[in-house]
């Protein structure tokens, strides 16, 4: 039987170059901090350049790059700049996402396309660029997508958002199957309601407070509640035989 690996070594990301999208706030900013703290060099990509530059200045081995993930043609240049700074990107965290509210019957096609462009099209595009570069360089790597409990059930959230996150979960499984032969793992995290800029207004509302009471743990999550799951999926030694999985982190909300 192989000797066990200590946690400090199991989750050591030294040598990894991570690209985190949507890194200007919320989960993306937290993900960047956690990956950096465990040894990865991190590229923070987002539209709000002032925020990612400020965050990059507080981290060791980090670089901020402007990116609107819905601009398909802009992505290759970000990978070029990341590689010039740190070497090939080996860990891609597809975190950038948008949501909307309102009833399907009142929605517009323009709003549908806005959500799909960021939540689905960008994940496909960035993952393909990432994969092609790794395969050409004969390197292994990992993709972590951010899905949602809305990937698996509908509960009154935006139809466009729920459909986009269902697509992310299925894309994760499909890519995992195809890319395993190239030693590229693809997994996802499906958070429940996590306190962030995106959810703050809803969680503070009467409807949000009522929803929290229905969660078995009787609370919304904090970004720190995802730290362990992120590290598990990012660390080769911790999850080297794990691909195609979507890990739900929701305080039991899925089963309520």
In a domain, 58, yes or no: yes
The pTM is what? 0.95
How many Å separate Cα 219 from the centre of its chain?
Answer: 22
> Could you tell me the maximum CA-CA distance found in the chain, to the nearest angstrom?
60
pLDDT by residue (tens digit) across 204-248? 888 889 888 998 899 999 999 999 999 999 999 999 999 999 999
- What is the rounded CA–CA span in Å between residue 90 and residue 249? 24
- How many CA atoms, within 13 angstroms, populate the side-chain half-sphere of residue 142? 27
In a domain, 213, yes or no: no
Residue 100 lies in domain: 13-193+226-241
Active-site residue, 161 included: yes
- What is the rounded CA–CA span in Å between residue 113 and residue 111? 5
- What is the rounded CA–CA span in Å between residue 51 and residue 123? 22
Domain count, the chain: 1
Cβ neighbours, 10 Å, residue 167: 18
Q: What's the Cα-to-Cα distance from 123 to each of 95, 108, 115, 170, rounded to whole Å? A: 9, 22, 12, 12
CA angle 151, 251, 45 (to 5 degrees): 55
CATH number at residue 233: 3.40.50.720
Residues of the chain below pLDDT 70: 1-2, 156-157
- What is the rounded CA–CA span in Å between residue 22 and residue 46? 5
In a domain, 166, yes or no: yes
In a domain, 19, yes or no: yes
In a domain, 219, yes or no: no
**What one-character DSSP code corresponds to residue 194?**
B
- What is the rounded CA–CA span in Å between residue 187 and residue 29? 19
In a domain, 231, yes or no: yes
- 45-71 per-residue burial string, b: 16 or more CB within 10 A, e: under 16: bbeeeebbbebbeebeebbbbebbbbe
- What is the rounded CA–CA span in Å between residue 21 and residue 128? 15
Question: What pLDDT score does 255 carry?
Answer: 86
The span from the first CA to the last CA of the chain, in angstroms, equals 40
Question: What pLDDT score does 196 carry?
Answer: 82
* Nearest by Cα to 118 from 188, 54, 168, 51: 168
pLDDT by residue (tens digit) across 123-151? 999 999 999 999 999 999 999 999 999 99
Of the candidates 109, 161, 193, 202, the residue annotated as catalytic is 161
Judge contact between 28 and 46, C-beta under 8 A.
yes
In a domain, 120, yes or no: yes
In a domain, 209, yes or no: no
Tell me the β-bridge partners of 249: 191
Coil, helix or strand at residue 42: strand
């Amino acid at each position: 039987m192989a000797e066990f690996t200590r946690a400090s070594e199991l989750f050591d990301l030294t040598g990894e170059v991570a690209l985190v999208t949507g890194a200007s706030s919320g989960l993306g900013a937290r993900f960047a901090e956690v990956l950096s703290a465990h040894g990865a060099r991190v590229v923070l990509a987002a539209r709000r350049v002032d925020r990612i530059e400020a965050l990059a200045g507080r981290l060791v081995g980090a670089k901020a790059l402007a990116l609107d993930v819905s601009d398909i043609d802009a992505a290759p240049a970000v990978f070029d700049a990341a590689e010039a700074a740190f070497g090939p990107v080996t860990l891609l965290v597809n975190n950038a996402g948008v949501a909307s509210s309102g009833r399907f019957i009142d929605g517009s096609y323009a709003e549908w396309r806005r959500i799909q462009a960021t939540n689905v099209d960008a994940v496909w595009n960035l993952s393909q660029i990432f994969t092609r570069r790794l395969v050409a360089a004969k390197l292994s790597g990992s993709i972590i997508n951010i899905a949602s409990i809305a990937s698996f059930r509908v509960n009154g959230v935006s139809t466009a958002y729920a459909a986009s996150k269902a697509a992310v979960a299925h894309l994760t499984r499909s890519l995992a199957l195809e890319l395993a032969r190239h030693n590229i793992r693809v997994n996802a995290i499906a958070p429940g309601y996590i306190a962030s800029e995106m959810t703050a207004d809803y969680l503070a509302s009467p409807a949000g407070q009522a929803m929290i009471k229905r969660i078995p743990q009787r609370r919304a999550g904090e970004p720190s509640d995802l730290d362990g799951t992120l590290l598990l999926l990012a660390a080769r030694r911790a999850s080297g035989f794990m691909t195609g999985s979507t890990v739900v982190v929701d305080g039991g909300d899925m089963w309520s």
